[in-house]
């Protein structure tokens, strides 16, 4: 089972990722910030225009000049309201597109890194957890640039409102600033407490997703064992904790908003009362009183930043989870090239551990060019790990793997993948159609070559029976486990190269089909070396040699007939 192992957190990593995301959508973020600032500016000018219009009406004595002055200010109010509506609509469109663009970029970056790291990623992160990070966490982190741009504009509004109060009369700003620290402390407390809560929520969510993915993958086993209730309890075991953290998160946000809303009216009343006193002393006009009351509302709007800060907190926690994936170092490749011909595979002193347990210990093994070596052993002996090391889907902790005398670590990526082909127990059917999935990775996937490989893997018979034949979409093809394996074998045959590794790739085939494919394996790939992880005695019997793997060590190497004389070897096959 893949598990997520937390690593020491480096506070700057999430900031680096969010900064890179903001730079990716820099132009949109700048436009969004300008629109938000323009909208905030219009909102700050509107109370002034309304106050001036009111003063013009009250002091005009119905003169022509006064009517014209009031008309100008009323027209200014209408223009500001219209501008605010247009800017808000534009802000909504830009926010949505920027969030989508940033989220897509984050998903692309993390997905590309996962592919660059290779299978080692899934050794650290469960499949479901990885999907949750790519889907949910990337979406949360993707809102950060737009939210930050909107937050800057949201900060301009209360700051500008306080400045406007000071311009009307200094006492109005002073009264507001007396209570402003309370709002600041509320926001600071909210950010500090909610960060931990959001991080726990997302971590538990990822754990549940990982267990759910495992349960779906083993659905048939669960159903056959009648352990549905037990499996559901395992998957949902942390659901109460998820609920607790979710409720805690919303309580924190609700409490912070309630506290801000409770403090805001007191400040507004205080500003309005002082403005009334100043009006009585003829220090401000009626229009100034109206503007001051509105500016007090805008200034206390700092309490409404709780929602946007909450979005940034979630984005930062999500970015931290994405960074955990990105900190996994990608697989490095060299620039060496293989000789023109060959296929000699050598493992020298290979040792590899998984989960703190030594799986392979001092393995020495040779597959001569053009021959077939079957690797057999009990479950847990390390056969699949050996197959992964042989084609560099994993690297040994100690020792070296060579192909035609060249260390696999020294080979270029394209060179390695062109010369080494794989077939697995559960092949992933990638591509749009069955023809695409067979030709995936082949250097020249012509229709003739694809059909020849399908015939060698005994896949042509069931493909041609489908209504659309080779053009059948992969998702619509009703395939059994054995048929999926035959497609995987056909893909391996079509690739070419000098080394073919079959990791239990014929386990779901019937005996007759396996016999035909084994013969085709020898005749269809006469110039390739073959390493086969075998579970059946018939498969081992067709190989040139058999490597008997026992508890991570090579116990013996010889022909199947030679090893069959040993009772312990026969027990490997249940005989």
pLDDT for 310: 74
Last residue of a domain, one of 326, 361, 379: 326
What's the rounded mean pLDDT across residues 231-251? 83
In this prediction, residue 554 has a pLDDT band, given cuts at 50, 70 and 90, of very high
What's the rounded mean pLDDT across residues 94-110? 92
Q: Are 522 and 528 in contact (CB under 8 A)?
A: no
Q: Do the domain assignments include residue 387?
A: yes
Q: Are 508 and 481 in contact (CB under 8 A)?
A: yes
Whole-number Å distance between alpha carbons of 136 and 141: 9
Last residue of a domain, one of 283, 299, 326: 326
pLDDT for 262: 67
Q: Extract the tokens encoding 489.
A: 């074998």
Q: Do the domain assignments include residue 380?
A: yes
pLDDT for 214: 76
pLDDT for 5: 42
Among 50-54, 243-247, 304-308, the least confident range: 304-308
Asked if residue 385 and residue 507 are part of one domain, the reply reads yes
In this prediction, residue 12 has a pLDDT band, given cuts at 50, 70 and 90, of very low
Is pLDDT above 60 for 246?
A: yes
Q: Do the domain assignments include residue 421?
A: yes
Asked if residue 170 and residue 57 are part of one domain, the reply reads yes
pLDDT for 2: 43
Q: Are 183 and 155 in contact (CB under 8 A)?
A: no
pLDDT for 8: 40
Asked if residue 272 and residue 363 are part of one domain, the reply reads no
pLDDT higher at 350 or 12: 350
Whole-number Å distance between alpha carbons of 490 and 494: 6
Asked if residue 538 and residue 475 are part of one domain, the reply reads yes
Helices then strands, counting H and E runs in the chain, come out as: 23, 10
Q: Do the domain assignments include residue 360?
A: yes
Asked if residue 354 and residue 302 are part of one domain, the reply reads no
Q: Do the domain assignments include residue 372?
A: yes
What's the rounded mean pLDDT across residues 548-553? 92
Long-range contacts of 442-448 (CB under 8 A, 24+ apart): 442/491, 442/494, 442/495, 442/496, 443/418, 443/495, 443/496, 445/494
Characterize 430-449 residue by residue with b for buried, 16 or more Cβ atoms within 10 angstroms of its Cβ, and e for exposed: eeebbbbbbbbbbeebeeeb
Is pLDDT above 50 for 4?
A: no
- Domain membership of residue 385 as a residue range: 345-572
Asked if residue 144 and residue 259 are part of one domain, the reply reads yes
In this prediction, residue 342 has a pLDDT band, given cuts at 50, 70 and 90, of confident
Among 69-78, 143-152, 245-254, the least confident range: 245-254
Is pLDDT above 90 for 62?
A: no
Q: What pTM did the predictor assign?
A: 0.72
Number of domains in the chain: 2
| Residue 522 backbone phi and psi in degrees, to 5 | -80, -35
- Pairing mode, strands 529-533 and 545-550: unpaired
Among 52-61, 199-208, 464-473, 544-553, the least confident range: 52-61
Q: Do the domain assignments include residue 336?
A: no
Asked if residue 487 and residue 408 are part of one domain, the reply reads yes
Q: Which residues contact 522 (CB under 8 A, 6 or more apart)?
A: 372, 542
Q: Do the domain assignments include residue 539?
A: yes
Asked if residue 366 and residue 269 are part of one domain, the reply reads no
Asked if residue 306 and residue 182 are part of one domain, the reply reads yes
Q: Are 145 and 25 in contact (CB under 8 A)?
A: yes
Last residue of a domain, one of 326, 355, 383: 326
CATH number at residue 563: 3.40.50.300
pLDDT for 524: 59
Averaged confidence pLDDT in the chain: 84
Residue 156 CB coordination number (10 Å): 18
Asked if residue 479 and residue 419 are part of one domain, the reply reads yes
Q: Extract the tokens encoding 534.
A: 């075998």
pLDDT for 123: 73
What's the rounded mean pLDDT across residues 70-86? 89
Asked if residue 213 and residue 106 are part of one domain, the reply reads yes
Whole-number Å distance between alpha carbons of 261 and 159: 18
Is pLDDT above 90 for 427?
A: no
pLDDT for 9: 40
In the chain, the percentage of residues whose pLDDT exceeds 90 is: 22
Among 25-34, 54-63, 148-157, the least confident range: 54-63
What's the rounded mean pLDDT across residues 416-443? 86
In this prediction, residue 13 has a pLDDT band, given cuts at 50, 70 and 90, of low
In this prediction, residue 7 has a pLDDT band, given cuts at 50, 70 and 90, of very low
| Residue 545 backbone phi and psi in degrees, to 5 | -150, 160
Characterize 395-404 residue by residue with b for buried, 16 or more Cβ atoms within 10 angstroms of its Cβ, and e for exposed: bbeebebbbb
Q: Which residues contact 428 (CB under 8 A, 6 or more apart)?
A: none
pLDDT for 575: 60
Q: Are 195 and 318 in contact (CB under 8 A)?
A: no
- Angle, CA of 348, 350 and 354, to the nearest 5°: 170
Is pLDDT above 90 for 30?
A: no
Asked if residue 241 and residue 184 are part of one domain, the reply reads yes
Q: Do the domain assignments include residue 163?
A: yes
In this prediction, residue 78 has a pLDDT band, given cuts at 50, 70 and 90, of very high
């Amino acid at each position: 089972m893949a598990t997520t192992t937390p690593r020491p957190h480096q506070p700057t990593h999430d900031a680096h990722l969010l900064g890179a995301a903001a730079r990716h959508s820099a132009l949109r973020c700048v436009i969004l910030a300008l629109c938000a600032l323009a909208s905030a500016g219009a909102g700050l000018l509107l109370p002034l225009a309304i106050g001036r219009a009111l003063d013009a009406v009250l002091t005009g004595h119905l003169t022509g000049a006064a009517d014209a002055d009031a008309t100008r200010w009323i027209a200014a109010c209408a223009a500001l309201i219209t501008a605010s509506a247009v800017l808000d609509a534009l802000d909504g469109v830009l926010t949505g597109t920027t969030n989508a663009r940033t989220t897509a970029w984050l998903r692309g970056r993390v997905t590309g890194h996962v592919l660059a790291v290779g299978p080692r990623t899934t050794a650290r992160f469960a499949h479901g957890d990885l999907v949750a990070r790519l889907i949910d966490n990337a979406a949360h982190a993707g809102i950060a640039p737009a939210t930050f741009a909107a937050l800057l504009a949201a900060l301009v509004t209360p700051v500008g409102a306080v400045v406007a109060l000071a311009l009307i009369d200094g006492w109005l700003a002073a009264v507001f600033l007396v209570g402003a620290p309370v709002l600041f402390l509320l926001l600071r407390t909210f950010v500090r407490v909610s960060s931990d809560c959001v991080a726990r929520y997302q971590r538990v969510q990822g754990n549940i997703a990982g267990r759910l993915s495992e349960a779906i993958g083993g659905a048939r086993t669960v159903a056959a064992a009648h352990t549905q209730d037990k499996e559901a309890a395992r998957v949902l075991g942390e659901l109460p904790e998820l609920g607790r953290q979710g409720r805690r998160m919303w309580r924190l946000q609700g409490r912070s908003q309630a506290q801000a809303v409770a403090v805001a009216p007191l400040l507004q009343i205080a500003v309005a009362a002082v403005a009334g006193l100043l009006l009585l002393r003829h220090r401000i006009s009626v229009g100034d009183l109206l503007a001051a009351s509105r500016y007090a509302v805008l200034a206390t709007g700092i309490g409404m930043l709780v929602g946007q800060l909450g979005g940034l907190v979630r984005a930062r926690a999500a970015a931290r989870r994405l960074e955990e994936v990105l900190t996994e170092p990608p697989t490095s490749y060299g620039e060496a090239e293989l000789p023109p011909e060959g296929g000699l595979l050598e493992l020298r002193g290979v040792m590899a551990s998984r989960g703190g347990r030594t799986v392979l210990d001092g393995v020495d093994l040779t597959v001569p060019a053009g021959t077939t070596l079957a690797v057999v052993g009990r479950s847990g002996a390390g056969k699949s790990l050996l197959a992964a090391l042989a084609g560099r889907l994993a690297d040994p902790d100690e020792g070296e793997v060579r192909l035609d005398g060249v260390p696999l670590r020294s080979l270029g990526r394209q060179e390695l993948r062109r010369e080494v082909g794989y077939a697995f127990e559960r092949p992933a059917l990638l591509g749009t159609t069955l023809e695409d999935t067979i030709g995936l990775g082949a250097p020249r996937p012509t229709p003739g070559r694809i059909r020849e490989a399908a015939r060698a893997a005994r896949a042509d018979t069931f493909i041609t029976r489908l209504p659309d034949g080779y053009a059948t979409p992969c998702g619509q093809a009703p395939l059994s486990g054995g048929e999926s394996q035959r497609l995987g074998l056909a893909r391996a045959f079509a690739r070419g190269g000098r080394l073919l590794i079959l990791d239990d790739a014929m386990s779901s085939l019937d005996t007759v089909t396996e016999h035909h494919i084994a013969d085709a394996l020898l005749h269809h790939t006469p110039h390739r070396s073959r390493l086969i992880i075998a579970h059946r005695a018939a498969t081992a019997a067709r190989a040139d040699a058999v490597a008997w793997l026992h508890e991570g060590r090579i116990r013996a190497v010889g022909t199947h007939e030679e090893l069959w004389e040993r009772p312990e070897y026969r027990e490997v096959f249940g005989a």
